[in-house]
Amino acid sequence: MAHNLIFLGPPGAGKGTLAVRAKDLLAVPHISTGNIFREAIAEKSPLGLKVKAIIDAGKLVDDETTVALVRERFTRPDIRSGYILDGFPRTIAQAEALASFSKVDAAVNFDIEDAAVLERLGGRRVCRKCGFNWHRKFNPPINEKVCDKCGGEVYTRDDDKAEAIQKRLAVYREQTAPLTGWYREKGLLVNIDANGNVEEILTLFKKALNL
Ligand code: AP5
């Protein structure tokens, strides 16, 4: 059975971290619009140059650009086995666009307290090479500047600075949180308590999806 899943929740809820575990479990691609944008920024491609200032400020990239990017990604054959969409959709307009080209099986919502979000984002460190999400307190690499997995440089995302975090949370509440109601009405919403550690959340995820 194909698993067409979207991961919803505030920034720092742990969507990306769980997606890395869940994609292996389900043998589906993990598609993170945030990762695609960050790769474009690192490559200084036309897309990267267009979105850098928007992302660094914690605002959303426009719907047209984001939907076009996901539509293009969905032309690849690996989508037939299912997918985990992490960070998309983020607006009702994006959810409507997605519904026009793919049937979502479940919208998994990461329920988490604000204090936990702030602690996770404030301590997040990312590998520039392989993209792994480390955490200064919860999961630090041996050497704080070097990735244990690939030897890449470990850095702090520009949008993890205090001002951008506040902006991202405000944008989430205004534009993305209404999606939980949208998917609930369609009978697709699955809520997961995301306050625990990664293993606990993985167990709740498997239980919620009968895996
Ligand atoms: P994106 O990269 O999607 O950012 P986000 O949604 O803000 O999500 P995050 O990556 O911040 O958090 P996460 O929930 O994945 O948490 P993580 O697993 O890393 O998007 C970035 C930007 O791109 C957006 O702001 C926007 O500008 C643009 N964009 C992207 N998609 C868009 C769209 N559809 N439309 C318009 N614009 C778009 O975990 C966080 C930290 O906590 C890590 O350090 C991790 O190690 C740690 N951690 C995780 N889980 C646990 C746990 N259980 N216990 C302890 N620590 C944990």
Active site residues: 15, 90, 124, 157, 168
23 lines ligand 1 (CB under 6 A): no
Beta bridge partners of 110: 192
Mean of pLDDT values over 167-186: 96
Residue 13 Cα, ligand 1 centroid: separation in angstroms? Answer: 7
* Percent of the chain clearing pLDDT 70 (strictly above): 99
User: Does 5 score more than 90 pLDDT?
Assistant: yes
CB-side exposure of 34: number of CA atoms within 13 Å?
A: 23
Residue 162 Cα, ligand 1 centroid: separation in angstroms? Answer: 15
175 lines ligand 1 (CB under 6 A): no
Instruction: Indicate the fold that domain 3-113+175-208 takes in CATH.
Output: Rossmann fold (3.40.50)
Q: Residue 118 in 3-state DSSP? A: helix
Give me the residue spans of the domains in the chain: 3-113+175-208
Tell me which residue has its CA closest to atom 12 in ligand 1.
12
For 12-47, the pLDDT digits (tens) are: 999 999 999 999 999 999 999 999 999 999 999 999
87 lines ligand 1 (CB under 6 A): yes
Residue 12 Cα, ligand 1 centroid: separation in angstroms? Answer: 5
For 120-175, the pLDDT digits (tens) are: 999 999 999 998 999 999 999 999 999 999 999 999 998 898 888 999 999 999 99
Q: Where are the alpha helices (DSSP H) in 27-148?
A: 33-43, 46-56, 63-73, 92-101, 114-123
User: What pLDDT was estimated at residue 114?
Assistant: 87
CA distances for 106 relative to 84, 166, 169, 180, angstroms: 10, 28, 23, 11
CA distances for 32 relative to 15, 87, 131, 173, angstroms: 10, 6, 11, 20
133 lines ligand 1 (CB under 6 A): yes
10 lines ligand 1 (CB under 6 A): no
User: What pLDDT was estimated at residue 76?
Assistant: 96
Mean of pLDDT values over 105-122: 93
Residue 131 Cα, ligand 1 centroid: separation in angstroms? Answer: 12
Which atom of ligand 1 lies nearest, measured to the CA of 90? Answer: 34
Tell me which residue has its CA closest to atom 23 in ligand 1.
34
Q: Does this model's pTM top 0.85? A: yes
Report strand pairing: 30-32 vs 82-86.
parallel
Report strand pairing: 189-193 vs 106-111.
parallel
